Amino acid sequence: MEHNEETQRITEALAGHYRQIIGLLGEDATREGLQKTPERVAKSMQFLLQGYRQDPEAVLASAMFQDEDYRQMVLVKNIDFFSLCEHHMLPFFGKVHVAYIPRKYLTGLSKIPRVVDIFARRLQIQERMTLQIKDCIQKTLNPLGVMVVIEAQHMCMQMRGVEKQNSLTTTSDFTGFFQQAKTRQEFMNLIKK
């Protein structure tokens, strides 16, 4: 993250709030181990939520190439992600699998994980993130189809609430050719290998 006057102003404002939160929770924010914690948390939150300041469509468009009549599935699987649940601001994390079938354009393979990161680095719910990734790729590349599957563990389910340690949540969405069961099955077979 770039360091400029606005970033510093935001960091200082957030740190002030975190100092108050620490005090309200019954801890002394001035004790040695906590003195720099409010500023560290402020910087950490700005990093974790930087997706609000990034344009995923522009990232994809920055590396669009006319394909060479390639009309088969392009799959990027096992994309690690970390996000914060908007309900409790606790982490959820896992893997994203993204495939598209080009119509006219290909995009640089590194752009798909970047799009995932942009949407993950916002206050999120897994279901919305699945839709946002799919919609962004469909709108920007206009492929013959897109499919997104996300498998994630949610700390809000593991650390609090139901406290289910081994639960895994899977979401999916698709367009175009992926509406055909045969194409979806090919995708699922490829991500399980």
Residues marked active site are found at 85-88, 126, 154, 156
Three-class HEC string of 73-100: CEEEEEEEEEEEECCCCCEEEEEEEEEE
Residues 6+ apart with CB under 8 A from 42: 10, 11, 12, 13, 14, 15, 18
- Cα gap 136→125, rounded to integer Å: 17
